[in-house]
Structures are given as C-alpha cells and as structure tokens.
C-alpha cells in the first residue's frame, strides 16, 4: 500500500513539473529561496479543479477508497475561505467571523456532512500542494477518507504570487441509491 501511494506521489511530482506557469525570479519570504512563483491564469479554474480531482481520485483508488465528485457548493465554501485567509494573512480553519468549515458549507447550501478541510499557504501549484498534504498524516486522512463522496477545491492568489489553497471534503446528504 505504501509503495503504491509512493509511486502515485512520485507521478504527481512528475506531472507538476510539466506545468509551464512558473514565472519570475525565485521567491521566498527572505528572497533567497529557490522556490518559484506559480501564476494562475484567470481561465484556469476548471482545469485546476479537475486536475486536482483526478489526482485525488487516483490516490483514493490506490488506497481502496471510492472516487469523489466535484461539488460546486463545496467549491464556493473553499473559495470563500481562501479569500478570507488571504485577508487575515493567516492559514487556519476559522473564518474572520469565527466560522468553521461546517458553517461555510451550510452558508452555500451544502446539505451533506463536512468530512474535513485542508488548507495551505504557499507559492506552489496544486499538485505540489497535494503532495505536501499527502506527507502529513492528518491532511492525508481527509483526502483518503472513505466517508467522503464529494470535494470542493479553490484558492486565492495574491499579487505577490502567494496562493491560499482550500480543499473541503464532504459526504452527500442525498439518499443513496439502493440499486447501487
């Protein structure tokens, strides 16, 4: 199992190297880092969201979990939180108004159960962020949770290139189809 996840993790890193949206000089908080700025173009939203969904589902398949579907309401909750983290300049799970991931999902009409939320403050692209999440036991557990059936994914990019990523996973509130 660990070998399969390791291979998929390596594949994600290779795929992230294929992206040509890294621009500019090295960027770090002190200016000396070799990290490059990943610039997201305005028309890339669905491409990035589905690339992340496909990558997450590949990892889930390797771990024996069912695939997730992208949910527009969870995307909206994730986008709201990414913007709010950027305004607060702080990566944490509570909104500036004290809201939790559950509160934000309810506000956009999500009728399911929130399984978890992963957040990140970085200059890296979505696949590098996913790779980092997979290295941490808590964020990996959210990605691979067999309880989850849906995912929302969004970000806010600041003019300096910093990206605030948010992934929310949930379990549909719709009744399961007894024929499946």
> Can you give the pLDDT at residue 174?
67
Query: Would 11 be classed as within a structural domain?
Result: no
pTM for this one? 0.76
Q: pLDDT truncated to tens, each residue of the chain (180 aa)?
A: 555 545 444 444 433 333 333 334 444 444 444 457 666 567 877 799 999 999 999 999 999 999 999 999 999 999 999 999 999 887 888 887 899 999 999 999 999 999 999 999 988 889 999 999 999 999 999 999 999 999 999 999 998 989 999 999 999 976 444 443
pLDDT score of 46: 77
Task: List the one residue out of 37, 60, 64, 23 whose CA is nearest residue 167.
Answer: 60
Domain membership of residue 26 (yes or no) is no
The end-to-end CA distance of the chain, in Å, is 27
31 within domain boundaries: no
Give residue 35's pLDDT. Answer: 59
Q: Give the dihedral of Cα atoms 17, 149, 67, 86; nearest 10 deg.
A: 0
Q: Does residue 67 sit within a domain?
A: yes
Tell me the residue range of the domain where 135 lies.
42-171
Residue 103 within a domain: yes
Give the CATH number of the domain where residue 46 resides: 3.40.33.10
Quote the pLDDT of residue 11. 42
- DSSP at 154: E
Q: Nearest CA to 77 among 107, 112, 50, 97?
A: 107
- b/e code 107-122 from CB counts within 10 Å (16+ = b): ebebebbbbbbbbbbb
Instruction: Indicate whether 12 belongs to any domain.
Output: no
Residue 144 lies in a domain: yes
């Amino acid at each position: 199992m660990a070998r399969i996840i390791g291979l998929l993790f390596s594949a994600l890193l290779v795929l992230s190297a294929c992206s040509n949206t890294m621009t500019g000089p090295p960027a770090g908080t002190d200016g000396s880092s070799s990290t490059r700025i990943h610039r997201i173009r305005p028309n890339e939203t669905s491409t990035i969201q589905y690339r992340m969904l496909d990558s997450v589902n590949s990892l889930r398949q390797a771990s024996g979990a069912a695939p997730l579907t992208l949910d527009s309401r969870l995307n909206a909750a994730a986008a709201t939180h990414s913007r709010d983290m950027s305004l607060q300049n702080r990566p944490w799970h509570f909104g500036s108004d004290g809201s939790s991931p559950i509160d934000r999902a309810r506000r956009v009409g999500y009728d399911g159960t929130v399984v978890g939320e992963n957040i990140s403050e970085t200059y890296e692209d979505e696949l590098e962020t996913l790779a980092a999440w997979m290295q941490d036991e808590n964020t990996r557990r959210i990605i691979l949770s067999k309880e989850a059936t849906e995912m929302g994914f969004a970000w806010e990019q600041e003019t300096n290139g910093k990206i605030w990523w948010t992934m929310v996973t949930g379990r549909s509130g719709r009744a399961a189809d007894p024929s499946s």
